[in-house]
């Protein structure tokens, strides 16, 4: 009986030693290997997802570049006010109106954004539908420009035709401030050129009328002389 109990005790002891020193470490290494496998599979999935996204970006690189270019044109990284003045002057000429005055305020940073807002104001003169065409054209410019206030005053030109004077105020946008990017000399030159062109056009429009008046006066003088 004692031999049987002693043998059983030895067997239990051997089993315990075998489990704790052989089976236990094997199971522990197995658990570690399983965890490493799951981590590797998760990393592989993440890498495959990232690779797929990069491949899509590469495939649509041209579209992305085009979209970025359009965005930088709509809200440029520099104020580029001289270019805007040129665009508005061309638009005014195209619609047959006079861009009498245009000015810009100092850019201010919009709250919670990286966008600077530049206040703009201008005065234009022309027929109602010509002014309307100018406004539609301004809305279709590549540069984003919002018109916030508009007031129109009826009047008449030198020939007696109905005309309108309009004052506009609004905003344009950029991603940089005025001091580091705006060339004030260039802006002043652009404003002076636009004003000079407006004056020149007004003079050219007035000259035919003046010539017609002189011709009419000459005809009247000739008729009077002949009658005498």
Neighbouring residues of 75: CB distance < 8 A, sequence distance ≥ 6:
115, 144, 173, 174, 175
pLDDT for res 226: 42
CA distance 132 to 185: 32
CA distance 151 to 170: 12
Q: Is the pLDDT of residue 89 over 70?
A: yes
- Over residues 145-157, the pLDDT tens digits come to 998 999 998 877 6
Q: H or E segment at 216?
A: helix 184-227
Mean pLDDT, residues 168-192: 67
Q: Is the pLDDT of residue 218 over 70?
A: no
> DSSP H helical segments within 75-183, as ranges?
81-95, 128-139, 178-181
Nearest-CA neighbor of 182 among 81, 31, 34, 110?
A: 81
pLDDT for res 143: 92
Structure tokens at 98: 């006079």
Which of 35-49, 96-110, 185-199 is the most confident on average? 96-110
pTM of the model: 0.52
Say whether 121 sits in a helix, a strand or coil. Answer: strand
Assign 87 a pLDDT band (cuts: 50, 70, 90): very high
Mean pLDDT, residues 132-143: 91
pLDDT for res 124: 93
Question: 22 or 72, which is more confident?
Answer: 72
- Cβ atoms within 10 Å of 190's Cβ, excluding its own: 19
Note whether 115 and 75 are within 8 A (CB): yes
- Over residues 6-64, the pLDDT tens digits come to 565 666 666 665 666 666 667 677 778 788 888 888 888 888 888 787 777 677 767 76
pLDDT for res 197: 67
Instruction: Indicate the average pLDDT of the chain.
Output: 75
């Amino acid at each position: 009986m004692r031999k049987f109990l002693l043998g059983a005790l030895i067997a239990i002891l051997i089993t315990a030693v075998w489990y704790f020193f052989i089976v236990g470490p094997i199971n522990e290494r197995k658990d570690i290997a399983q965890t490493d496998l799951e981590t590797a599979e998760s990393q592989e999935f993440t890498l495959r997802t990232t690779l797929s996204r990069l491949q899509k970006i590469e495939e649509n690189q041209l579209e992305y570049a085009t979209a970025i270019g359009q965005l930088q044109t709509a809200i440029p990284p520099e104020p580029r006010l001289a270019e805007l003045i040129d665009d508005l002057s061309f638009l005014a000429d195209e619609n047959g109106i006079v861009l009498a005055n245009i000015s810009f305020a100092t850019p201010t940073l919009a709250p919670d954004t990286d966008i600077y807002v530049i206040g703009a104001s201008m005065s234009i003169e022309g027929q109602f539908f010509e002014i309307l065409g100018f406004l539609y054209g301004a809305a279709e410019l590549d540069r984003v420009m919002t018109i916030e206030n508009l007031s129109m005053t009826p009047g008449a030109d030198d020939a007696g035709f109905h005309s309108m004077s309009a004052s506009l105020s609004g905003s344009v946008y950029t991603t940089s401030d005025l001091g580091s990017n705006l060339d004030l000399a260039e802006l002043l030159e652009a404003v002076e050129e636009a004003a000079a062109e407006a004056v020149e056009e007004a003079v050219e429009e007035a000259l035919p009328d003046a010539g017609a008046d002189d011709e009419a006066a000459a005809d009247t003088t000739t008729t009077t002389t002949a009658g005498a």
